[in-house]
Amino acid sequence: MLRAVAVVACLPYLVLKAAWIGGSHIGIPEGSTLLDHRAAMIVANGVSLLLDSCVIVLALVLTRPWGRRVPAWSLAFPVWVATGLLAPIMAGFPLQLLARAFTGGVATASDPRRDPFLHEWVFGVVYGGFIVQGLALGALFVLYARDRWGHLWRGRTGDLPSAVTGRVPKAAVAVAAVLALFPFAVRLLWACGSAAGLGADRAADRTSDFYVLEGLYVVFLVLAVAAGVALAFRRARALPVAVPLATAWVCSGAVACWGGWMLLASLIGPGEPADRPAQLPILTYAAQMTVGLLLASAGARFLTGRSAAARTRP
């Protein structure tokens, strides 16, 4: 049942992307900047269509008998990426709708008559589908992981042996914690209304949606670092291991994957170089991505360490 839900939830997005690649303007208003760069739009839609198609593949892997024979890393990595890409949407879209209810819409302060990027119904269809995908795929992965790797997160944080939390994970978490101060500070400034480093056009385009997402990235950064510290340094000793591990999984993925996606979009996006983001956003996205990858690597070392300890235990 969950597999069918995950697959069906992908269909509206896949159909919409295929239509845009084929030249349809459904859901795209006249005057949208999406229509200015046909080649870039085809490439971007092709990549996103491929990524969402992977959700269907993952749903099959997580529910078919042959999926138990898939190497751990080749399943864990794409699920981590999917989790990271979907989590901010699942948390952010409902919060954005709530913010719009209080602010009266999404029009920019600079020009309330400005041509919209997409018709409003597109966001509801796409993000609604993403939320259903995330819930279904998340439930499937939890059930799969519990049966295959459930022994890796038993016990409490304070009971972890020092051999599992070695020097390398501790060093990675320490570096990530220090580096996270930069994107944390910048995102917090943006969430509080500062336009530092955004450029005139980006600053003028800010809406309640922008502020919600910036605040959400701050939360993901804090939770990712806190979870990494709890695991690597065995803090919050009374916590079940599953709590910081799951938090690190979700939040490091959100930090790394969205930092990387925004960095890529900034570097290779369409338009003249003068129209692209300033240096501060690019540095912020790069630092955010690096923080997420460092924390994810520490989590991976933690899991491999516990797995090795379980195999050698008499």
Q: For 109-120, how does the pLDDT look when each residue is reduced to its tens digit (9 = 90+)?
A: 444 444 567 888
Same domain, 11 and 25: yes
Same domain, 92 and 201: no
Same domain, 174 and 145: no
Counting the structural domains of the chain, the total is 2
Same domain, 120 and 262: no
Cβ atoms of 191 and 79 within 8 Å: the answer is no
Residue finishing a domain among 151, 167, 189: 151
Same domain, 162 and 305: yes
Same domain, 74 and 52: yes
Same domain, 147 and 180: no
* Per-residue confidence (pLDDT) for residue 276, from 0 to 100: 61
* Per-residue confidence (pLDDT) for residue 113, from 0 to 100: 43
Same domain, 41 and 163: no
Residue finishing a domain among 129, 151, 173: 151
* Per-residue confidence (pLDDT) for residue 270, from 0 to 100: 55
Same domain, 75 and 177: no
Same domain, 233 and 272: yes
**35-39, 215-219, 306-310: the lowest-pLDDT one:** 306-310
Residue 50 token pair? 């491929």
Residue 45 token pair? 């839609």
Checking if the pLDDT of 6 tops 70, the result is: yes
Residue 100 token pair? 């719009």
| Per-residue pLDDT reduced to its tens digit, 164-173 | 677 888 999 9
- Alpha-helical segments (H) within 22-108: 38-61, 72-103
Residue finishing a domain among 122, 151, 180: 151
- Neighbour tally for 112: CB within 10 Å: 9
Q: What span, in angstroms and rounded, lies between the C-alpha atoms of 118 and 130?
A: 17
Same domain, 112 and 127: yes
Average pLDDT on 73-84 reads: 93
| Per-residue pLDDT reduced to its tens digit, 260-277 | 999 988 887 655 555 566
Say what angle helices 208-232 and 181-191 make with each other, to 10 degrees. Answer: 150
**What residues make up the domain containing 187?**
154-314
Residue 24 token pair? 């349809």
Q: What span, in angstroms and rounded, lies between the C-alpha atoms of 139 and 74?
A: 19
* Per-residue confidence (pLDDT) for residue 173, from 0 to 100: 94
* Per-residue confidence (pLDDT) for residue 313, from 0 to 100: 56
* Per-residue confidence (pLDDT) for residue 115, from 0 to 100: 53
3-state class percentages of the chain: helix first, strand second, coil last, to nearest 5: 75, 0, 25
Same domain, 239 and 268: yes
